[in-house]
């Protein structure tokens, strides 16, 4: 009896059906044990060609940028309305003149740029010149076709600036290098490395909130007043095109 | 005919050099610093001419160069003094056209002009007085001296020879 059972048992091993069922069973166990990992991996591999690619990412980014631009314009309008209400100087981005740099002397005894727009295009002495990165300098003199820009880095050149985070004003003084010095008007500057330096919103000469640079070094104990060394965000050495804010961007 | 050619040469030299002042070409710069063109122009003229002529020329050149700069600092005092020294030296020296001699004189002249501008800036801007060591001025001075020393032997000696042959 036992012998015949053993024979039947071994006989099963020779059956193809048995092996098929065993293979299916093990596969099922494997799927259950790995929680369908193989299936998921295969699914992801098959799905890869139709997944959202870089193009779609760019569309999303573009959409985000459009949304940000709309928000920025709305905020600028709001800001402009409030500044008018407070009778403060306004910054109007529409009143800009684009000009090319025709001669550059950004590292010499005189740190200046010559641009190809002059009084014929409405450029006047004292107007603000900006470039990619922020404020570059002020118009020093004009001819009918050209204008000379005195850079912020020119030794002795002084403009008002402030640190938005601490709300402390100072005088940004050119020292001949790409790092002008911000001499604070208060005894306690509260400035920290990494603070953004911008034009003061209360300024009567320059348009408000123009980026100037980033604080790189602070000396709180300096006499007669503390100072900070500012790394300019706009590099006059590399700029070929600038924008002049007509009437300092004032309406 | 030859004399006219020389005059043309001098005329073009002045046109060329004065255009370099305005354009400040990048290929003629060291660390973004251009040669001291007033020194290059003034040196050969002073060596050939009398003190009076040189000093008048230096004032005219100073006024011309100052019109291309932005601040109240001027080239005139240093150029005037240099023109007097060079004209005095040139009148007694017979070997002034020596190639290296010209370069050396241009180097000292540029250093003198540079120091003069530096000093004027320190006097004018009180903020610069707090720091006696100005990294920018040392940088500009050294670069300007080097590039002028390299350029002057060509331009200045060329002008000097043209003046002498005239």
Q: How many CB atoms lie within 10 A of CB B87?
A: 23
Looking at A59, A84, A109, the residue that finishes a domain is A84
**Digit-coded pLDDT (tens) for A101-154:** 888 887 788 888 888 888 888 888 889 998 888 889 999 888 888 899 999 888
Q: Identify the residue among A153, A155, A181, A182 best suited for mutation to test binding to B, counting B beta carbons within 10 A and taking the highest.
A: A155
Query: A112 contacts in B (CB within 8 Å)?
Result: 69-70
Whether residues A116 and A10 fall in one domain: no
Note the pLDDT of residue B108.
92
Same domain membership, residue A130 and residue A22: no
Domain count, chain A: 2
What pLDDT score does B95 carry? 62
Nearest C-alpha in A relative to B65: A110
Is residue A102 domain-shared with residue A159, that is, in the same domain? yes
| A111 lies in the same domain as A223 | yes
Tokens of A102: 């025709």
Q: Is the pLDDT of residue B109 over 90?
A: yes
A144 inside domain: yes
Find the CB nearest A108 among B118, B128, B140: B140
A156–B22 CB contact, under 8 Å: no
Top pLDDT among A182 and A44 is at: A182
Q: Are residues A26 and A121 in the same domain?
A: no
User: Pick from B13, B75, B87: which is nearest to B38 by CA?
Assistant: B75
Spatial neighbors of A117 by CB under 8 A, at least 6 apart, are A97, A98, A99, A123, A145, A146, A147, A244
Residue B112 has pLDDT above 90, yes or no: yes
Q: What is the pLDDT of residue A51?
A: 67
For residue A113, the enclosing domain spans: 94-251
Using the 3D structure, point to which of A24, A55, A84 is the last residue of a domain. Answer: A84
Number of domains forming the structure of chain B? 1
In sequence order, the 6+-apart residues with CB closer than 8 A to the CB of B140 are A107, A108, A109, A176, B33, B114
Angstrom distance (rounded) from CA B97 to CA B164: 9
Residue A8 CA to its chain's centroid (Å): 79
Rounded distance between C-alpha atoms, residue B18 and residue B4, angstroms? 21
pLDDT at B166: 67
What average pLDDT is seen over chain A?
Answer: 81
- Quick one: A168 and A225 in the same domain? yes
CATH code at A236?
A: 2.40.10.340
* Predicted pLDDT of residue B1: 46
Listing DSSP states for A110-174 in one string gives S-EEEES--GGGT--TT-EEEETTEEEEEEEEE-SS-EEEEETTSTT-EEEEEETTTTEEEEEE-
State the smallest CA–CA distance between residue A177 and chain B in angstroms: 6
CA distance B37 to B81: 16
A21 found inside a domain: yes
Domain stops at, among A60, A84, A108: A84
Q: pLDDT of B24-83, one tens digit each?
A: 777 888 878 888 888 988 888 888 888 898 999 899 888 888 888 887 788 999 999 999
Instruction: Give yes or no: residues A107 and A56 share one domain.
Output: no
- pLDDT for A8: 67
Residue A89 included in any domain: no
The pLDDT of residue A91 is above 70: no
Examine residue A161 and state whether it is found in any structural domain, yes or no: yes
Question: Range of B33's domain?
Answer: 2-165
Contact predicate A149/A138, CB 8 Å = yes
Q: In chain A, which residues have their Cβ closer than 8 Å to the Cβ of B140?
A: 107-109, 176
Determine the pLDDT at residue A251.
Answer: 41
Tens of pLDDT, residues A151-164: 988 888 888 888 88
Does A224 touch chain B if contact means CB atoms closer than 8 Å?
Answer: no
- A190 in a domain, yes or no? yes
Counting beta carbons within 10 angstroms of the beta carbon of residue A233, is it exposed (0 to 12), middle (13 to 18) or buried (19 or more)?
A: middle
Cα-Cα-Cα-Cα dihedral sign, residues B133, B134, B137, B139: positive
pLDDT of residue B61: 86
At residue A87 the predicted structure's pLDDT band, cuts being 50, 70 and 90, is low
Q: Which residue of B has its CA nearest to A236?
A: B32
Given a cut of 80, whether residue B22 has pLDDT beyond it is no
ipTM value greater than 0.90: no
Q: Which residue has better confidence, A10 or B43? A: B43
How would you class A131 by CB atoms within 10 Å of its CB: exposed for 0-12, middle for 13-18, buried for 19 or more? Answer: buried
pLDDT, tens digit, for every residue of B86-101? 888 776 666 655 666 8
Q: Do A107 and B140 touch (CB under 8 A)?
A: yes
Indicate if the pLDDT at residue B15 is higher than 80: no
User: pLDDT tens-digit profile of A207-243?
Assistant: 888 889 999 888 888 777 888 999 988 887 778 888 8
- The owner of tokens 């043309």 is B8
CB interface of A with B, residues 12-41, below 8 Å? none
Q: Does residue A249 register a pLDDT over 60?
A: no
pLDDT attached to residue A38:
77
> How much of chain B, in percent, has pLDDT values that exceed 90?
19
Is A80 in the same domain as A98? no
More confident residue, B91 or B125: B125
**A129 and A55, same domain (yes or no):** no
Which candidate, B109, B83, B105, B100, places its Cα nearest to that of B153? Answer: B100
Could you tell me the pLDDT band of residue B145, with boundaries at 50, 70 and 90?
A: very high
Mean pLDDT, rounded, of chain B? 81
């Amino acid at each position: 009896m036992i012998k015949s059972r053993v024979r039947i048992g071994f006989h099963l091993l020779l059956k193809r059906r048995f092996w098929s069922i065993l293979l299916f069973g093990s596969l099922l166990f494997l799927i259950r044990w790995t929680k369908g990992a193989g299936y998921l991996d295969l699914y992801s591999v098959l799905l890869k060609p139709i997944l959202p690619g870089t193009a779609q990412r760019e569309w999303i980014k573009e959409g985000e940028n459009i949304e940000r631009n709309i928000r920025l314009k709305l905020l600028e309008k709001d800001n402009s309305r409030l500044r008018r209400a407070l009778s403060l100087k306004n910054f109007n981005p529409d009143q800009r003149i684009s000009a090319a740099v025709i001669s550059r002397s950004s590292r010499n005894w005189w740190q200046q740029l010559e641009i190809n727009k002059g009084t014929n295009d409405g450029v006047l002495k004292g107007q603000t010149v900006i470039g990619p990165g922020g404020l570059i300098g002020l118009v020093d003199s004009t001819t009918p076709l050209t204008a000379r820009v005195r850079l912020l880095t020119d030794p002795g050149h002084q403009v008002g600036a402030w640190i938005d985070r601490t709300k402390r004003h100072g005088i940004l003084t050119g020292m001949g290098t790409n790092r002008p010095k911000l001499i604070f008007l208060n005894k306690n500057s509260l400035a920290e490395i990494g603070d953004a330096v911008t034009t003061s919103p209360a300024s009567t000469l320059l348009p408000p909130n123009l980026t100037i640079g980033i604080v790189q070094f602070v000396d709180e104990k300096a006499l007669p007043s503390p100072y900070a060394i500012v790394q300019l965000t706009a590099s006059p050495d590399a700029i070929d095109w600038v924008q002049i804010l007509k009437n300092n961007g004032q309406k | 005919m030859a004399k006219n050619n020389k005059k043309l040469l001098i005329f073009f030299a002045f046109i060329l050099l004065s255009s370099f002042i305005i354009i400040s070409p990048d290929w003629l710069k060291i660390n973004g610093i251009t040669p001291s063109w007033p020194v290059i122009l003034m040196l050969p003229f002073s060596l050939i001419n009398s003190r009076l002529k040189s000093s008048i020329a230096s004032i005219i050149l100073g006024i011309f160069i100052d019109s291309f700069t932005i601040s109240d600092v001027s080239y005139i005092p240093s150029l005037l003094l240099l023109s007097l020294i060079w004209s005095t030296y040139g009148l007694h020296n017979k070997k002034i056209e020596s190639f290296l001699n010209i370069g050396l004189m241009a180097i000292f002249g540029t250093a003198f002009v540079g120091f003069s501008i530096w000093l004027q800036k320190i006097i004018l801007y009180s903020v610069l007085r707090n720091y006696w060591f100005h990294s920018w001025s040392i940088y500009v001075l050294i670069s300007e001296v080097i590039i002028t020393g390299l350029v002057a032997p060509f331009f200045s000696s060329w002008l000097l020879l043209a003046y002498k042959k005239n």
